[in-house]
Amino acid sequence: MKEDILGLLPEELEDFVISHGHQRFRAKQVYSWLYKDIESFRDMRNVPKALISILEENFNLGSLKLIDRQISKMDGTQKFLFQLDDGNQIESVFMKYRYGNTVCLSTQAGCKMGCKFCASGLLGLSRNLTLSEILSQVIEISKITGEKISNIVLMGTGEPLDNYVNVSKFLRLIHNPEGYNLSMRSITISTCGLVDRFDQLADDFPQINVAISLHAATDKKRNEIMPINKKFPIASVVQKAREYVSKTGRRISFEYTLVKGFNDEDEDMYALAKLLKNLNCHVNLIPLNEVSQTGLITSGRKRAEECMEILNKRGINATIRRQLGADIDGACGQLRLKQSIK
Ligand code: SAH
């Protein structure tokens, strides 16, 4: 099968172009077209026909096939289900915020982390996404919607730090001035807490926003819903977060999904406030998106507000995540899950 050209780094494309007898600057021309609204290599107007034929012989242009698209009537959120070459399916989401359009990308087909509340992990990990599969989600969504994308969150299916090689290549490319030219500050990477990767992340991308999925303030509770806590217990996660903040000078975020009667009592908030004391951080409270297979129940908006107040009163900066696309298959991984159990 032909390789997807989007999986090449700019220097690899240069090598290819030069080794086929064309001048180096042609690679730049080709490269700049990859991010535009083109259907085929023939749309690359300033590229010589001979080079276009060579590209056609050797490469595909994007490999995602759109299977399903849902558009929220409430807020314009759009969910996309794409099929990969090997039949695996992945989800991505497009959201409109006041500060710009955001896409939420998947980094793996499935996930092996097994968080109890999450739809994405129910079927385990199939495989890592390739560089081109991660990048293509952005390119396809901007083509389909015709909208400019100004922010990216790596919060879709998968654990981005478990696919660090491809995710870091993606971050470099999306940041490249000849590609999308997105600043690192408009990109957020969300992790269940693979803190053994944090030193490298801070070295490679000190400007990126980091969100840690915490969801509980004690090891006893976190062990129950997040198996990764057995490997990286809460104290090690928070310690590493503190190091990360002092190393990069950036604020760090914690995601805390509120599950009724499990982690939303006053005591849970007191423990959370104590845990994060004197750390330059922000807590994002997320009312649980109910996934029927998990049996867990959401705390609801009112309780989320009470939790937020408790945290704020204790000096912890907390907000509640706006729920977008409530009228379409909301929770991460639900669209994909629905397809696979049809
Ligand atoms: N693996 C990464 C990124 C993917 S999950 C991580 O764990 O952060 C992105 C966020 O959605 C995480 O905070 C995750 O805990 C949260 N999430 C997953 N399922 C959810 C659900 N049903 N309701 C609310 N948040 C959920």
Write down the pLDDT at residue 36: 87
pLDDT for 89 equals 95
Residue 121: its pLDDT value, please?
Answer: 80
Distance CA 238, CA 142 (A): 36
Which atom of ligand 1 is closest in space to residue 298's alpha carbon? 23
Q: What is the pLDDT at residue 330? A: 56
CA of 62 to the centre of ligand 1 (A): 27
Give ligand 1 pocket residues (Cβ under 6 A): 115, 117-118, 155, 159, 190-192, 213, 255, 257, 286, 288-289, 291, 331-332
The atom of ligand 1 lying closest to the CA of 215 is: 15
Element holding 335 (H helix, E strand): helix 334-340
Can you tell me the distance from the alpha carbon of 125 to that of 108, in angstroms, rounded to the nearest whole number?
Answer: 7
Which residues belong to the active site? 91, 332
- The token pair that represents 143 in the structure block: 């083509």
pTM of the predicted model, to two decimals? Answer: 0.94
Report the C-alpha gap between 179 and 128 in whole angstroms: 23
On the 0-12 / 13-18 / 19+ scale of CB atoms within 10 A, 292 is exposed
At 51-84, the pLDDT tens digits run: 999 999 999 998 899 999 999 998 889 999 999 9
Q: Which residues of the chain have pLDDT under 70?
A: 329-342
* CA–CA distance, 342 with 334 (Å, rounded to integer): 12
In angstroms, the CA 235 to CA 331 distance is: 28
Side-chain half-sphere CA neighbours of 274 within 13 A:
11
